[in-house]
Structure 1
Amino acid sequence: MIKRIIFKRKNNYILKYSLLLLLFIIILYLISFYYFSNREYFVIPKFTDKYFVIPTNKEGEVVDYLDKKSLNNIDNEIQDFDFKNIDELDFTIQLYSNDNFENINKYLNNLLENKKEIIDHEDIFVFYKKTEIGTQYFITYKNYISKNNASEACDLLTIVKSCIILNLQN
């Protein structure tokens, strides 16, 4: 006769108890799942305070000294300097630009001393533009009729490494 390992009468109680244990675990799992799924994990209390406060003065903070302007101290050397009239300039090559006139004057003197063989003093234009931010001073080289002429001259120019061509008519 063939031996029955699983369905022996002696081992039948192991099968019954294991099935009963499995059923008990499934029932326990379902009960715990039902209990924990219907339970609140944390409670957020209802917020009853004010979210923000509307101030009585809705205009904001008052800024002091709003009507004051910064003092522009123009030295006598700036007033005595001969600035060029840029109304007749079309296109020009910018050599240097700064908001401090002393730096402009130093650069111009250095340029005219070191490059006097290359640059004629009449080809240098020094002018300024006043804006809301302040005064910006410019040193430019020659007047050109078109941007192409200025660009061609810029390629041949050895004074500066890279050229900025200014269109002063706009």
Structure 2
Amino acid sequence: MKADSYPSDFKPNFSCEYSVTISHPLSTTFPVLGTDQGLERVISLSSLASDFVALDKDNVAVDGKLFDASVRTAPSSDSGFPRQAFRFKESFKILPGLNLHVGLQGTFTWDDEQNVALYETLTDKGITIRKLRWLEALDDGATRVNERIEGQCSWLLQGITQKMARDGHKAHMDSYHTLF
């Protein structure tokens, strides 16, 4: 699969980007935040998430960098980047007494050499999310964790999805330090 081969129908209409610094070295943070070793723990940090299930693990070949790839639906390969499939649920309070329950199914793929991880999901409400996470070692021994979310949803959901993505993303990343 070519690294720049986004699905032709993926036209992001919401996005957000955020960074946090964790006072632990990259050698400690990447296995937890960048591989399947910490996937369930990272997802479960969100108070919205429940019922995490790890599914099949395989490899996926990418012609180029994972940073630019879309691999959720790419065929399995004998070599390439490790890819962990998963599913979980999120529950959102819309109004007092009214919750929206969303099922997510996706993949988490990572590149140990570039310290990059790619999280791609599709919800049962038709929302596609691509979250790219890249970690950088800082001179003081800490790690900067950067994430960019790009997503696509129906225009009816765009405003609320953008706000919930931005607010939820910041709150989620601000809790990453609790994993160490």
> So what's the TM-score if we normalise by structure 1?
0.26
More helix by share: 1
TM-score (norm 2): 0.25
Q: Over alpha carbons, which structure has the higher Rg? A: 1
